């Protein structure tokens, strides 16, 4: 064990002892399967575990058939038939499944292992969140600040700082800025070119990431924008714009690709300049998801042009319910669960893709 790790271990034990002596909640040991103290999620429906359940919004999924293939007893609220990528990462790294911050009452002790702030339908910009009464990314940052203060009250400043600075943060958002934002709003298209809109997103993204850094975040994974032109809903709603040779909406995928490339090129140097002592890492989900969407049979799937729920062409949230006709019996044959979201099998594949990248990025 290196000197730095030894010092961390000593500080950790001192913080634990101080908290116990004051009669506070006993801190939970970090998992031995990773160097992280906790897992903290921010973003949209790809990582939401129930935030929207308690919001006054139509963007919900706390009813059947959502969650029908869960192998563990968890509250409904995931936009999927089963677990999500970060759930599988939690299993991999020895953490419990994270709870939604807005549903923490009576479960405050679980906050010591991390928390989930994600809100389905939100994006880097406030547009869709404001439209559908969701938790915007800015609000999620505010809740991260509240969470840190709660940790301080629970276990003291030193231990709270340790949890915050040694946690793994996973951010998955951005698709809604296009599918529910720019391409569904003619006024935005008149006001901004695609590149101008992308720069607006990027500017907001950097400011939010700086807020996270200032709060103590040091290990941050940021998902790229996925191939949004291959979503069944995108093909249904925006197919008139033109499809590429693989049958996906060309404009939407091109916007995702250029945004991903330009964001890495612009923001990575800023991370090195402004985020000293931290690792803010972009990871590419576009490429592996595109391969699965376009060549499903190569990965053991039979259907990628429509989701399992109903017709699979437009159904999502309230439109995907227990009475929706046509829902498939075996979602494992489908790439998509509803018209926007992958099945749990695809999320598991993303986990398998991410684990070695995370280990390489964070040296364990």
Catalytic residue numbers read: 45, 338, 341
The residues, any chain, with a CB within 8 Å of residue 206's CB and separated by 6 or more, are: 267, 270
Q: Are 194 and 252 in contact (CB under 8 A)?
A: no
What size, in residues, is the chain? Answer: 364
């Amino acid at each position: 064990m290196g000197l730095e790790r030894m010092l961390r271990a000593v500080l950790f034990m001192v913080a634990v002892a101080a908290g116990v002596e004051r009669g506070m909640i006993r801190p939970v040991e970090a998992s031995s399967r990773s160097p992280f103290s906790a897992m903290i999620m921010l973003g949209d429906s790809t990582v939401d575990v129930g935030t929207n359940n308690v919001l006054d919004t139509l963007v919900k999924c706390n009813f059947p058939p959502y969650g029908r293939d869960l192998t563990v007893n968890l509250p409904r609220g995931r936009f999927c038939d089963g677990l999500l990528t970060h759930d599988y990462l939690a299993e991999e790294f020895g953490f419990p499944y994270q709870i939604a911050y807005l549903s923490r009452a009576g479960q405050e002790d679980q906050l010591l292992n991390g928390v989930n702030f994600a809100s389905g339908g939100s994006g880097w910009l406030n547009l869709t969140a404001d439209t559908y009464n969701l938790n915007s990314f800015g609000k999620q940052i505010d809740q991260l600040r509240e969470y840190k203060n709660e940790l301080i009250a629970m276990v003291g400043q030193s231990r709270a700082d340790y949890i915050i600075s040694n946690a793994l943060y996973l951010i998955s958002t951005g698709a809604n800025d296009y599918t529910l934002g720019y391409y569904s709003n003619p006024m935005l298209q008149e006001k901004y070119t695609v590149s101008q809109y992308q720069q607006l997103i990027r500017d907001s993204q950097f400011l939010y990431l700086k807020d996270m850094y200032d709060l103590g975040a040091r290990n941050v994974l940021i998902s790229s924008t996925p191939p949004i032109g291959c979503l069944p809903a995108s093909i249904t709603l925006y197919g008139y714009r033109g499809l590429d040779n693989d049958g996906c909406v060309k404009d939407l995928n091109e916007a995702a690709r250029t945004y991903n490339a330009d964001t890495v090129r612009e923001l990575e140097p800023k991370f090195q300049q402004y985020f000293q002592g931290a690792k803010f890492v972009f990871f590419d989900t576009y490429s592996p998801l595109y391969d699965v969407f376009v060549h499903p049979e190569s990965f053991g799937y039979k259907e990628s042009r429509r989701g399992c729920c109903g017709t699979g062409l437009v159904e999502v949230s309230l439109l995907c319910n227990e009475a929706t006709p046509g829902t498939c019996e075996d979602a494992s044959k489908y790439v998509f669960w509803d018209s926007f979201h992958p099945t749990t099998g695809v999320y598991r594949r993303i986990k398998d893709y991410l684990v070695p990248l995370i280990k390489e990025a964070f040296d364990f």
